Amino acid sequence: MSGIQRTALVFTIIGALNWGLIGFFQFDLVAAIFGGQDAALSRLIYGLVGIAGLINLGLLFKPSEEVSRTKERDIDPAPIS
């Protein structure tokens, strides 16, 4: 995983936690910290979280090495002696 993807993952997690707070407690932490939903800094954070989500969308379609190895093992089992 590249540095950009790791940074994007951190922003995605921040966004997910913020949405969880909004959903469960009707509390927007980003807006509370940065001066409301219409504040320029809040909008910047919301934008970065959105871009991070788009970057991480590529991870959804990138197979992990473990999944690839498991599939290869299932397809090519060792011969029975």
Res. 22 pLDDT band, cuts 50 70 90: very high
The answer to whether residue 47 scores a pLDDT higher than 70 is yes
Res 73: pLDDT = 62
Q: How many CB atoms lie within 10 A of CB 38?
A: 8
pLDDT attached to residue 10: 94
**Is the pLDDT score of 27 beyond 70?**
yes
In this structure, are residues 59 and 48 in contact, taking their beta carbons and an 8 Å threshold? no
pTM of the model: 0.71
The 10 Å Cβ neighbour count of residue 37 is 12
Q: Are 18 and 29 in contact (CB under 8 A)?
A: yes
